[in-house]
Chain A
Amino acid sequence: MGGIRIIAGRELAAYFATPLAYVFIVIFLALMGVFTFYLGGFYERGQADLVPFFNFHPWLYLFLVPAIAMRLWAEERKSGSIELLMTLPVTTAAAVIGKFLAAWIFTALALALTFPVWLTVNYLGDPDNGVILAAYLGSLLMAGGFLAIGSCISAANRNQVVAFIITVVVCFLFLLAGFPVVLDFFSGWAPQALIDTVSGLSFLTHFNAISKGVIDLRDVFYFASVIIAWLYATTVVLEMKKAD
């Protein structure tokens, strides 16, 4: 749809019209480097793969992606431009998708700028580039999931800081859904089926599966459904309280 493309284009341009884009990219790349080379022990491991690089993606996204997502709708609400956007001849769904796509393309760009890490590992050894490509894809899908969650929470809040904090918490729960920190909350009272469902929602489990180089359609489908579900929720939230 034309509306989606035009809105995504405007939104993407807006990132680069403010320092936001540059600050984000610089910090993203710097942290990636620190995590990979110092905490991940990239050289010390002596293996030609990017496992130490991708291992930190979920944790970096946990704080950086909500920073991108928090402004998606909260800013429109605060500046009042939401009234302009919602009275243009585009559907709410088109506006939601357009803004989400812009944020996703932006994170994809930041992710693509990590290519020197990939060059380095290829220079030093002979890695399995198929696995690396799969891991990049998994990382992008996971970023999309975080962004969709953030989009919905941003739509429900006028205050960007509140949107950021809630998004981090919700993303954290989704990230670790398969781990005791979340599951302990359910075990003991919830039926096993619910516990299994919750543990199946873990971003980390699905991301780790993909980043091993196995692109299972179920993992891709999982992230796609997370994105679609949260974007749908964004649309519903906006329809309900766009003018509040």
Chain B
Amino acid sequence: MIRAESLTKLYGALRAVDGISFTVQPGEVLGFLGPNGAGKTTTMRMIAGFVPPTSGRAEICGFPVDDQPIEARRRLGYLPEGAPCYGEMTPRQFLGFIARVRGLDGERRRSRLDDVIARLHLGRVLDQRIETLSKGFRRRVGLAQAIVHDPPVLILDEPTDGLDPNQKHEVRELINAMAKDKIIVISTHILEEVEAVCTRAIIITAGRIVTDETPAALIRRSRHHNAVTLRFEQAALLREAAAELRSLADVEHVELDEAARAVTAFPRGSALIVTAVADLAGAKGWPLSQLHLESGRLDEVFRSITEQEAA
């Protein structure tokens, strides 16, 4: 379990992190979201024991990070921001070094190294110096060092930053595969990542937690949640369609996008209007090129939450 108790960090007069508390249980994948400078990295550093908090405390698996740092760190796999490595080493040397420091030896070290090298597809670059590798490979070396000792707790600061879409997908698969019995905390800017891997999302702004809920709950806050968009082949019918849609019982309002030849109907509350809209379109015989039910837009929720807090 990870426990953070009113973690606070002051840099001079700046409250970088301002009383953050949460606990994470095994099986949870917690996504840390927030604008740049919101305090995500500082919070993760305090939990990892790199930055001492001004006040408050953090625990990993019951070991306080400040009083029993070695015990806490043994149970932690940590990918720092930017995935720093020793550039003059090769991945083979570097991962071997981390495994030795982590107390793995003999057959266990060999099998763990083989496992992470295979999982992160590092076989091809094992004997190249890390500083000569692409950003994507460097990030994967950083991830490999975080999981080499198979820790119960993982803290990953932007694990997919700099990866291409295929690599992003692979890292998400990796996180999902490990998620069952581990505690995982990731920070990210990429909102789709939260939907793809997280069971819980915390948004922080200006050093405070502003929301703490599941990604599904978060997405329900979007005004596009359950909205239906109709795209027409010709622009001629747009206004008529908008008027017809407005008359439907559960439709709160309708938006027109002339350029995209689209009409979007927003429901009252979270009412399901897709059947009614589809029936109407069928009855009227509208020539549609697309009918789209939106689940919601996380970026919209993110923006509305963080901007409202900043204002």
Residues of A within 8 A of B (CB): 2-3, 6-7, 10, 13-14, 17-18, 79-84, 86-91, 242-243
Contacts and interface: CB of A to CB of B under 8 A. Distances in A.
A14 B76 CA distance: 26
A7 B78 CA distance: 18
Contacts of A17: 88-89, 129
A100 B135 CA distance: 31
A3 B73 contact: no
A15 to B, nearest CB: 9
A155 to B, nearest CB: 15
16 contacts: A6-B100, A13-B93, A14-B86, A83-B50, A84-B78, A84-B84, A84-B145, A86-B49, A87-B50, A87-B76, A87-B80, A89-B70, A89-B102, A89-B103, A90-B70, A242-B50
Nearest to A17: B88
B254 interface: no
Interface residues of B, number: 30
B49 A14 contact: no
A243 B101 contact: no
B85 A84 contact: yes
B48 A89 contact: no
Given A87-B48, A87-B49, A87-B50, A79 B84 contact: yes
Interface string B93-127: 10001101111000000000000000000000000
B70 A91 contact: yes
A88 B98 contact: yes
Contacts of A86: 49-50
A123 B49 CA distance: 58
Interface of B: 45, 48-52, 69-70, 73-74, 76, 78, 80-82, 84-89, 93, 97-98, 100-103, 129, 145
5 smallest beta-carbon distances between A and B, as pairs: A80-B84, A83-B80, A17-B88, A89-B73, A243-B51
Given A80-B80, A87-B50, A10 B97 contact: yes
A81 B84 contact: yes
Contacts of B48: 87
B88 A88 contact: no
A81 B85 CA distance: 6
A242 B89 CA distance: 23
Given A17-B129, A79-B84, A91-B69, 10 more contacts: A2-B100, A3-B101, A7-B101, A10-B86, A79-B87, A82-B84, A83-B84, A86-B49, A243-B45, A243-B51
Nearest to B86: A81
Nearest to B98: A88
B113 to A, nearest CB: 15
B102 to A, nearest CB: 7
A88 B48 CA distance: 10
Contacts of A89: 70, 73-74, 101-103
A29 to B, nearest CB: 23
Contacts of B69: 91
B80 A84 contact: yes
Residue in A18, A80, A91 with the greatest tally of chain B CB atoms within 10 Å:
A80
Nearest to B97: A10
Nearest to B85: A81
Given A13-B93, A14-B89, A6 B84 contact: no
Given A13-B93, A17-B89, A242-B50, A83 B102 contact: no
